[in-house]
Structure 1
Amino acid sequence: MPIPIIAHIAQFKYEHLITHWAQYTKAAIAVSTIAAFKFWTSGRTTTWERKMNGMVVMVTGGSSGIGQVVVEKLASLGAQVVILLRTEPDQFTVDYIMDLRKRTKNQLIYTEVCDLSSMLSVRKFATKWIDCTPIRRLDMIVLCSGVLLPPFMDRQTTEEGVELQWATNFLGPYQLLRILRPVIYGQPGHREVRIVAATCSSYILGNIDFNDLDLSNHPYPRKSPWKVVGNAKLALMTYLYDFQKKAEAHERPDKMPCNLHTIMANPGVVRTPGFRRVVSFGKVWGLFLYLLLWPFWWLLLKGTIHGAQSFFHAICSPEFASITQPVLVNECSIVEYSRKEITDPEFAEKLIKAADAQIDEVEKQYKKKKIKKSKK
């Protein structure tokens, strides 16, 4: 191909290529520089692949953003994927699932209703999952769900009265894993089980008050709602670390070693629908401004595919099969924790005790409200 092009140029003597060679060189350098900078901001990519035929994977937040990319990856690898949705699937979701089955040639893609912001919804799904004999197969749980409210927005609470970001980012996943613990422990010793959870750098800002986990008695940080998300991610990472340690200490009936591996993945700053909502302040004019600055966001931030690379690495890499410690993955590499509380057993004990008390109180109060409504 290059030889005919060179012969064509030599035959017809494109003099303007010679005359304006300096301008073309500058343009080529500019394009190469932008491409190199974009390659750098996109982060590392994993090279691992894995056959997952027959494996059952549960995914939260799998209908949009990074979770959607993870679901497509799992489906292409042959896994049976169970997507947890907030509500019953609408026609758009049904069409998406049917199209995904067709594109990946994988018919084992299903949806279940499990709203992580509702403790009763999580309990209803999780108890239905464990109420089965023999124990249902479960090879992996991928926690991709997350909520970050835009700045200057008032406190948002769930129907059960819990702060929305705290409930979705920590309390719901905590409730899910707490109830599914018997299923996770009951998997055969030869079967590797992984828990892959999304985290973010805001966990460094976490400052948890055990007397008021949902910040109901404190001024809501309207200018910086990511502080609440930081609390939730710090709490989730602490619980996952403790969850792994307790699994290692658990004595299996078959005397096999612990087969659970917990990985926390940090995708970085990604152009997801949640990021678009935060940057646009949840306003129409903000969305218009976001669209005007889209080349800037494209150049500096990752897309969902590049943002999901750490998840792909956590799902496919064989190195985690031999690591018994809970690990944090950033840019497809294992990094150290920036907060000492994560590995502190006393901190974890206080957190679990406070979270259990909050969930019990939430379920009790919500049941009372439902009884009053039914009587009326």
Structure 2
Amino acid sequence: MTTKNSTPFTANDIPSQQGRRVLITGANSGIGFEAALELARKGAEVILPARSLDKANDAVARIRQSVPNAAVTPAILDLASLASVRAFAAFYTERSPGQTLDLLINNAGVMAVPRRELTVDGYERQFATNYLGPFLLTALLYPHMKQRHGARIVTVASGVSNQGKIEFDNLQSERVYSPMFGAYSQSKLADLIFQLELQRRLTAAGSPVLSTGAHPGYAITNLQTSGPAGVLPLGMRIAMTILKPLASQDAAHGALPTLYAAASPRATTGGYYGPNGFQELKGHPVPAKIAPLAKDLALAKRLWGETERLVGARFEL
């Protein structure tokens, strides 16, 4: 964390990850790839699932260009499909039974899908990919988390969670679909609520595992370049074009809040981190603003229960 009397956190400040097993979703591109690269550079064994084996293998090859001896394993996972999440969890259980996972980073996501789309399970694509899939994945992999200090579950949210609201009568955008400040912001608020509620439940269960979170600010990745084009209001698109050179950062810098949440010894129980610059758009990791709705305990409890119903699984701690 950056204060007047401390040095800004950079990738060089990541402690050694030797002997640690890390799983990062969406690590074939963007901030997920940069996080995987830096953790591999520090000696972690990184499991890197993507929607296709070709994408996962490509990311593995790119990491090994920079870290020739990196311990990186490709796999297949499509978070928009609950069957795929279950299949991946079964694959992990068969490959690495017992408490074998030190760090889970729920990073993968989609943003501002122009038109409402439904997944194979009948759920709105952004809510399914950004929230339901990660919730189920975490529930299924939690038994494999090492129950010791240093183990962490990191959930990547977004600054637009502050504009989100949870509409239980419109969770799947069945009444109205708004790509960015409806479906996307709702899914990312749900991620933040999940991160905080998970920490409450971990604490109540006496688990040493930390639930932390982060958002990347305005990081230029394929999420921005391929997602919201054409679906934001014209005025906002003009503003983003003007702000981009001044208020954005590359994927490597956008990954720093995630890396802080994942590996910094100074990350706190339930901590949520983002950039320290104007409107949390760019800069070094510091504690980020938490949307007031994310602190609503009754909302969190209701969302947790509804999520278990939607994914068809209990999250047992």
Q: Does 1:307 align with 2:281?
A: no
Instruction: Say whether 1:240 aligns with 2:209.
Output: no
In structure 1, the residue matched to 2:4 is none
Task: Trace 1:227-376 onto structure 2 (pairs within 5 A).
Answer: 227-251=182-206, 258-278=207-227, 280-281=229-230, 297-320=244-267, 323-324=268-269, 326-331=270-275, 332-339=285-292, 341-360=293-312
2:154–2:212 CA contact under 8 A, matched in 1:
yes
1:188 is displaced (CA, Å) by 4.1
How far 1:159 moved relative to its partner? 2.1
Amino acid at match of 1:219: V
Deviations 1:113-154 (Å, cap 9, x if unpaired)? 11111111101211332357850411111122111125xx32
Aligned match of 1:220 in 169, 177, 180? Answer: 177
Change beyond 3 A, Cα 1:310–1:133: closer
What is aligned with 1:33? none
The amino acid across from 2:167 in the alignment is D
Give the match for residue 64 of structure 2: 101
Tell me the secondary structure at the aligned position of residue 13 of structure 2.
coil
CA distance in 2, matches of 1:162, 1:318: 38
Give the number of aligned pairs.
291
1:182 to 143, 146, 154: 143
Partner of 1:13: none
Q: 1:317 to 1:278 in 2, by over 3 A?
A: same
2: CA distance between counterparts of 1:197 and 1:104? 26
Shift of 1:296: 6.8
- Is 2:60 aligned against 1:127? no
The one-character-per-residue Cα deviations of 1:207-233 (angstroms, maximum 9, x if unpaired) are 2122442122x1212xx5332111111
| Aligned match for 2:119, one of 149, 153, 158 | 158
Contact 2:17 2:44 in 1 (8 A): yes
Q: Secondary structure at the match of 1:149?
A: coil
Query: Counterpart in 2 of 1:366?
Result: none
Q: Partners of 2:241 and 2:191 in 1: how far apart?
A: 32
| Distance of aligned partners of 1:64 and 1:95 in 2 relative to their CA distance in 1, 3 Å threshold | closer
* Aligned counterpart for 1:169 among listed residues 105, 130, 142: 130
Please, which runs of 5 or more residues in structure 1 have no aligned partner? 1-43, 252-257, 283-288, 362-376
Amino acid at match of 2:226: R
Q: Aligned equivalents of 2:246 and 2:163: distance in 1? A: 27
**Distance of 1:63 and 1:139 partners within structure 2:** 20
The change in CA–CA distance for 1:84 and 1:96 in structure 2 (over 3 A counts) is: closer
Structure 1 runs of 4+ aligned residues shifted over 6 Å read 293-296
2:312 aligns to what SS in structure 1?
A: helix
The secondary structure found in structure 1 opposite 2:201 is helix
Residue 8 of structure 1 corresponds to: none
Which SS does the other structure have where 1:73 is aligned?
A: helix
**Matches of 1:132 and 1:93 in 2, distance apart?**
17
Aligned pairs for 1:42-121 within 5 A: 45-46=9-10, 48-87=13-52, 89-90=53-54, 93-121=56-84
**C-alpha distance after superposition, 1:311-352 (max 9, x if no partner):** 2222332112xx33x11112211234231x323332122112
Amino acid aligned to 1:260: V
Question: 2:234: which partner in 1?
Answer: none
Return the alpha-carbon distance in structure 1 between the equivalents of residues 215 and 97 of structure 2: 35
TM-score (norm 1): 0.70
CA contact (8 A) 1:48 1:316 kept: no
Over the matched positions of the two proteins, sequence identity in percent amounts to 26
Find the aligned partners of 2:96 and 2:75 in 1 and give their Cα distance.
19
Question: Which of the pair has more CA radius of gyration?
Answer: 1
Q: Give SS of 1:120's match.
A: helix
Contact 1:129 1:136 (8 Å CA) reproduced: no
CA distance in 2, matches of 1:267, 1:274: 12
